[in-house]
Amino acid sequence: MENAINLKKSVWVMFYAGFIQSIKIFKYYLLPVLTVYSLYLLFKGEIASIDIYMFTIMFTLTQIGICLGYHRMESHKPFDPHPVVRFILLALGAISLSGPPSYWVAIHLRHHAHADKDGDPHSPIHGFWHAHYAWINKLNLANLRDPYMKRFQGDTMLEFFDKTNLLWGLLGGVVPGVIDGWHGFLWGFAVRVFCTTHTTWLVNSYGHCFGKRDYLTKDQSRNNFWLAIISMGEGWHNNHHAFPKSAYHGFKWYQIDVCGYLVSMLEKLGLVKNVYRVSKESKKNRKITEEASSIEEIAEVKAKETAEITT
Ligand SMILES: [Zn+2]
Ligand SMILES: [Zn+2]
């Protein structure tokens, strides 16, 4: 019996390894070529406005699927979604061609558990380009299954999206192709997947190298305005590493967080419940000040503050 289960697991690992290998070749080599060709057609004026609308709408929907669905909802569980909301967000995530959601989540949880240390699958401590895309070459899928994927056992919706992942990805190409043929396919699929993939990869690479650190974390995560704009709020990456369970990544009024606004809207409509919010006190305690920028310095400043209050 145990042998049968192990065999089944190995078959799945081989299947996903093959799947990820194919997607990798597609994303590394074919998508950039198709994107450059699409831009050439755009500058020649051969692209209809419907293709640009399709790109914009599908880019936005895919980003929401990845950032709100795969990342916030499935990886960090900061709210309880209505099953219909969960289904829609997982379907939108699946059209990104980012792989089966359980693997996406497992890789991401490993990143949080070892952020910018040995064991982090995509840290810039091994180089910017390693963090951006080359890490995929070194990924050991078998290592991910047991420690991080137990939470999905018996989760029928997740299993459904794991098994049908490629079909959703293909559907994301067929629909724009049916709407506007080859040009629809180029802008609604190829350019869109190229842009959403690199946006996610930029959070892993740029978001751990450049920008401002507002909160104390044991990693090098940073906050970036422009990255938050294109990624629907994920660019507030230092906020996120400081408080991973927070449903909101933008903490200040000017920290634009489209996925956070969507959570508020869904909560008002009663479609998500038990939304997790970080208290002002917790944020204050983790704030990096001018005097303190390390755990030791913060402890020192706090000791001084306490001494001033009590004397
Ligand atoms: Zn990170
Ligand atoms: Zn995260």
The tens digit of pLDDT for each residue in 188-200 reads 999 999 999 999 9
**How far does residue 240's CA lie from ligand 2's centre (Å)?**
7
Question: What is the average pLDDT across 161-176?
Answer: 94
Tell me the pLDDT tens digit for each residue of 40-49: 999 999 889 9
**How far does residue 76's CA lie from ligand 2's centre (Å)?**
7
Band of residue 151 on the pLDDT scale cut at 50, 70, 90: confident
**How far does residue 66's CA lie from ligand 2's centre (Å)?**
11
Among 103-107, 121-125, 160-164, 265-269, the range of highest mean pLDDT = 265-269
**How far does residue 138's CA lie from ligand 1's centre (Å)?**
18
Tell me the pLDDT tens digit for each residue of 6-22: 666 666 666 666 766 67
- Does 241 score more than 50 pLDDT? yes
Note the pLDDT of residue 310: 44
Tell me the pLDDT tens digit for each residue of 215-235: 999 899 999 999 999 999 999
Beta partners for residue 212, in sequence order: 223
**How far does residue 195's CA lie from ligand 2's centre (Å)?**
20
- Does 292 score more than 60 pLDDT? no
